[in-house]
Amino acid sequence: MKNKVALFLMIAAIGFAFVSISQADPNRPQRPHFDPNAVRGMVQVTLNDSGTVTAIKIENRRNSWNIVLDAKGLELAKLANKMVFVEGTVAEQNGEKWVTVTSYKEMQRRQGGRERHRGDDPNGPPPDGPEGGEQ
């Protein structure tokens, strides 16, 4: 009986060590640090009849932010209907979020992101590669 208990404890210790080591993988991709003053989304621009910018919003699936119409904010209007990463000061006023832009950059969409939902192996060659598509 003592041998069985000792064997069980030894197997449990080895299993625990294996699980601990496998979760501490340094090559595992890390989530980016959350920054409350960084906004990602699509630029939506509202123009009046004469073509003057009257409002700019950044919208994504979860939220919508109004952009302060200062010099940097108006520069952002050039990226209408583009995905952007905006850094600045986020403030809430009358229940709406406002961003005073300090910097921004256009985000590049992933190439081929929507074409892979056909059950293809994500680690395999692309569908139009040497093994998968027309020759």
The CATH number that applies at residue 63 is 2.40.50.200
Place of tokens 């041998």: 3
Predicted pLDDT of residue 93:
92
pLDDT tens by residue, the chain, 135 residues: 778 888 888 888 887 776 666 565 666 666 667 788 889 999 999 999 999 999 999 999 889 999 999 999 999 999 999 999 999 999 999 999 999 999 999 988 665 555 544 455 555 455 554 544 444
Number of domains in the chain: 1
Residue 64 and residue 32 in contact, taking contact as beta carbons nearer than 8 Å: no
The pLDDT, as a whole number, for residue 132 is 46
In a domain, 49, yes or no: yes
Answer whether residue 53 is part of any domain: yes
**Residue 125: inside a domain, yes or no?**
no
Answer yes or no: is 16 within a domain: no
Distance CA 104, CA 84 (A): 7
Distances (CA, A) of 100 to 63, 94, 104, 120: 16, 16, 11, 43
